[in-house]
């Protein structure tokens, strides 16, 4: 008896008529059970990551202010590069410690992280810095600054993070839970942040430890948060029948937040030639915390709706 091309939307196995339906998509029993899983480990590691990055950067900045180390040349570049890698390493460690009961395959998370790094260095930086040469015109006036930040920096960065997930792990059966969008999105965002931070160190021939570590923390928290938003939309898109504009909405929302954040950070941290990076750190911590809380709430709500059967009954009603 033909099943009319009914396949699981995750693993693409053929399904019988008893297949589970969720948000208009068909699932095998294994992946149906996975979709609504709420990984506490992810949220815990996220909270620890935000707190850890804030604490680490504040500690290093405080020590640098206290000790005033006199590094220069290669040692300064090496130390700066190590500092640039710390936030991503922290997240990886926390995530795997929390997620060890049912971890995402390490190779996929690392692959998306590396893909994020690659896309950032090979595509995002050349487009933003070379093709659009934003430094030469972005500061012309406030309006140009905001719109330019959103349309160039935000759009390019967030689209590439989206692409890093959408055209890699998203298409594999390993992407089998809604929350995987946030996991892989964050990994892509951290890849971006790492390259931006390392580039910053190398371009400046090393960084002042006090200013540098705070700037790196800001970049990391922001990039990971915005990528988490895109990931949320991707996670929903894969497991529910969302409108055609759904994924676009995710990228645009992340781009707008990215652009506004970039502009706001400049406004509050730099007055003339004065730079006070602590304001930027506060802003980034706040944005990361709020984004994280919003994602946690939305994901929990989506899963609760699904588990309560509202979603299934709506789908059935729509089908009938």
Which of 110, 122, 171, 310 lies at the binding interface for another protein (CB under 8 A)? 171
Q: Residues 173, 179, 181, CA angle at the centre, nearest 5°? A: 70
Closest contact distance (angstroms) between CB of 91 and another protein is 26
> Could you say whether residue 300 binds another protein (CB under 8 A)?
no
> Could you say whether residue 63 binds another protein (CB under 8 A)?
no
**Cβ(27)–Cβ(10) under 8 Å?**
yes
* Secondary structure element (H or E) that encloses residue 275, with its range: strand 274-275
**Cβ(160)–Cβ(120) under 8 Å?**
yes
Which of 275, 282, 298, 312 lies at the binding interface for another protein (CB under 8 A)? 275
Backbone angles phi, psi at 275, to 5 degrees: -125, 125
Closest contact distance (angstroms) between CB of 183 and another protein is 18
Which of 3, 144, 314, 316 lies at the binding interface for another protein (CB under 8 A)? 144
Closest contact distance (angstroms) between CB of 162 and another protein is 7
Is residue 206 helix, strand or coil?
coil
Nearer Cβ to another protein (28/207)? 207
Closest contact distance (angstroms) between CB of 159 and another protein is 5
> Could you say whether residue 21 binds another protein (CB under 8 A)?
no
Q: Is 35 exposed, middle or buried (0-12, 13-18, 19+ CB in 10 A)?
A: buried
**Cβ(104)–Cβ(174) under 8 Å?**
yes
Quote the distance between the C-alpha of residue 265 and its chain's center.
Answer: 18
> Could you say whether residue 44 binds another protein (CB under 8 A)?
no
Closest contact distance (angstroms) between CB of 195 and another protein is 20
Residue 15 structure tokens: 């399904």
State the number of binding residues for another protein (CB under 8 A).
Answer: 50
> Could you say whether residue 320 binds another protein (CB under 8 A)?
no
Closest contact distance (angstroms) between CB of 184 and another protein is 15
Residue 5 DSSP symbol: S
Closest contact distance (angstroms) between CB of 278 and another protein is 12
Residue 56 structure tokens: 């680490």
Nearer Cβ to another protein (140/316)? 140
Q: What is the spatial distance between Cα 92 and Cα 112, in angstroms, rounded to a whole number?
A: 12
Backbone angles phi, psi at 91, to 5 degrees: -65, -45
Which of 147, 290, 293, 310 lies at the binding interface for another protein (CB under 8 A)? 147
> Could you say whether residue 237 binds another protein (CB under 8 A)?
yes
Residue 195 structure tokens: 């390259």
Q: What is the spatial distance between Cα 309 and Cα 228, in angstroms, rounded to a whole number?
A: 27
| Among 158-166, 217-225, 281-289, 291-299, the segment contacting another protein (CB under 8 A) | 158-166
Q: What is the spatial distance between Cα 135 and Cα 149, in angstroms, rounded to a whole number?
A: 11
Q: Residues 245, 192, 140, CA angle at the centre, nearest 5°? A: 80
Nearer Cβ to another protein (82/307)? 82
Q: Within 10 Å of residue 202's Cβ, how many Cβ atoms?
A: 14
> Could you say whether residue 67 binds another protein (CB under 8 A)?
no
Which of 101, 244, 317, 318 lies at the binding interface for another protein (CB under 8 A)? 244
Which of 255, 287, 288, 302 lies at the binding interface for another protein (CB under 8 A)? 255
Binding site for another protein (CB under 8 A): 5, 7, 9, 11-12, 132-141, 144, 147-148, 151-152, 155-156, 159, 162, 166, 171-173, 204, 207-208, 211, 237, 241-242, 244-248, 251-252, 255, 266, 270-275
């Amino acid at each position: 008896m033909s099943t009319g091309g009914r396949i699981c939307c995750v693993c693409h196995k053929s399904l019988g008529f008893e297949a589970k339906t969720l948000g208009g998509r068909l699932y095998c029993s294994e992946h149906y059970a996975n979709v609504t899983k709420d990984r506490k480990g992810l949220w815990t590691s996220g909270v620890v990551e935000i707190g850890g990055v804030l604490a680490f950067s504040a500690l290093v900045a405080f020590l640098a202010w206290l000790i005033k180390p006199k590094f220069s040349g290669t040692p300064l570049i090496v130390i700066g590069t190590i500092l640039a890698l710390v936030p991503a390493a922290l997240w990886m460690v926390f995530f795997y410690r929390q997620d060890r009961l049912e971890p995402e395959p390490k190779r996929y998370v690392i692959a998306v992280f590396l893909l994020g790094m690659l896309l950032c260095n090979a595509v995002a930086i050349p487009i933003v810095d070379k093709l659009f040469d934003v430094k030469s015109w972005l500061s012309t006036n406030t309006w140009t600054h905001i719109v330019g930040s959103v349309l160039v920096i935000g759009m390019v960065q967030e689209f590439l993070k989206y692409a890093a997930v959408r055209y890699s792990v998203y298409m594999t059966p390993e992407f089998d839970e809604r929350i995987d969008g946030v996991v892989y999105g964050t990994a892509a965002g951290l890849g971006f942040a790492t390259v931006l931070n390392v580039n910053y160190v190398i371009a400046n021939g090393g960084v002042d430890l006090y200013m540098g570590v705070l700037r790196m923390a800001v970049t990391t928290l922001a990039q990971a948060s915005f990528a988490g938003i895109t990931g949320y939309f991707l996670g929903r898109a894969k497991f529910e029948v969302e409108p055609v504009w759904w994924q676009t909405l995710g990228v645009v929302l992340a781009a707008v937040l990215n652009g506004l954040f970039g502009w706001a950070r400049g406004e509050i941290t730099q007055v003339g030639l004065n730079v006070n990076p602590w304001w930027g750190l506060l802003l980034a911590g706040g944005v990361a915390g709020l984004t994280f809380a919003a994602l946690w709430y939305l994901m929990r709500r989506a899963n609760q709706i699904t588990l309560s059967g509202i979603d299934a009954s709506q789908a059935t009603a729509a089908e009938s």
